[in-house]
Amino acid sequence: MNKINSLFAQRGDRKLLSLYFCAGCPKLDSTADVILTMQRRGIDFIEVGIPFSAPLADGPVIQTAATKALKNGMSLKILFAQLKVIKEQVKIPLILMGYLNPIQHYGIEAFCQSCVEAGVSGMIIPDLPFDDYLNIVKPAADKYDLRVIMLITPETSDERIRFIDNNTDGFIYMVSSAAITGAQKSFDEQKQEYFHHIDSMNLHNPRVIGFGISNAQTLKAAQDNAAGAIIGSKFVDLLDKAEGNADLALDNLFEALAQ
C-alpha cells in the first residue's frame, strides 16, 4: 500500500502533523538530515519543496528559501540523488511539492520513475491544470503507485471539490485561504465557516489544512476541522534562523505551537 494511504488508514483519531521545507535550503546538503530529524521527532509526513524561480502561490519566506536553494545549486537531479541515499531509513511518507515547469522539463514519466526510486510517495503541483492532471499526470502517477494531491481553497466551488474528491486518492490539501502562504495569528470566522462547510460535504478523502498555521490557535483550528495540519512558512523561517539545525528549528517550532 502507498505510504500516504497507509498513514491515514492507521491514524485512528490521532491528528497528523506535516512540515514543509525547501530542499537545498539553507544548505545544499542539508536535505537528508532535515528529513531524518523530522522523522525522529515524530513528524507524520513531510513535504519536500522543489525550488523554483517563480513560486506564485508562495509568500516571501518560501520565495526567499527557493531563491537560496537555487543559488546553492539545488536541482531535481540532485534532490533525487540525496533522497536515494536515505530511502531505506525513511519510513514516513515523503511528498514532493513543486511547480509544473521544472517537472515538465524533467519529464513527467521520468519524474514519476525517479520518485519511486527515491522513496517518494506522492506529489503536490499547485499550478497543475486539472485536465492535464487527468490526461497526463494521473496515468503516469498511477503506473508508479504515486498519489497526486490536489488543493482546494475557499474559492473552489462545491462541484469542483466533489470532482477532485472523486478523481484523487490519498488526501485533499485544504488551503486555509485564497492568499499566498505565510504565518497567521488566527483563523477568522470566515475561514472557520469554510472549514465547517467542507466538513459537512462528507468527502471520502481525508483533508489536511495548510497555509497560515504558526501557533496553538491556528494549529488547533486546523486539527479540529481536518485529519491534520501542514506547517510551511513558520518552519522554513525557523530552519533558516537555525542555520539548518533541524533539531533546534523543531524545538522552536514546538514552543511556538504551544503558545
Would residue 188 show up in a list of annotated catalytic residues for this protein? Answer: no
Burial pattern 227-241, b for ≥16 Cβ within 10 A else e, equals bbbbbbbbbbbbbbe
User: Which residue in 29, 44, 58, 131 is the catalytic one?
Assistant: 58
Give me the half-sphere count of Cα atoms (radius 13 Å) on the Cβ side of residue 62: 30
Tell me which residue of 229, 235, 101 sits closest to 173, measured CA to CA.
229
Between strands 151-152 and 172-175, the pairing is parallel
Would residue 58 show up in a list of annotated catalytic residues for this protein? Answer: yes
User: Which residue in 29, 44, 47, 132 is the catalytic one?
Assistant: 47
Give the whole-angstrom CA distance, residue 79 versus residue 168.
Answer: 26
Give the whole-angstrom CA distance, residue 239 versus residue 81.
Answer: 22
Q: Which residues contact 48 (CB under 8 A, 6 or more apart)?
A: 20, 21, 23, 31, 35, 79, 83, 94, 95, 96, 97, 120
As given in the structure block, the three cell numbers for residue 127 are: 499550478
Other Cβ atoms less than 10 A from the Cβ of 9: the count is 10
Q: Catalytic positions, please?
A: 47, 58
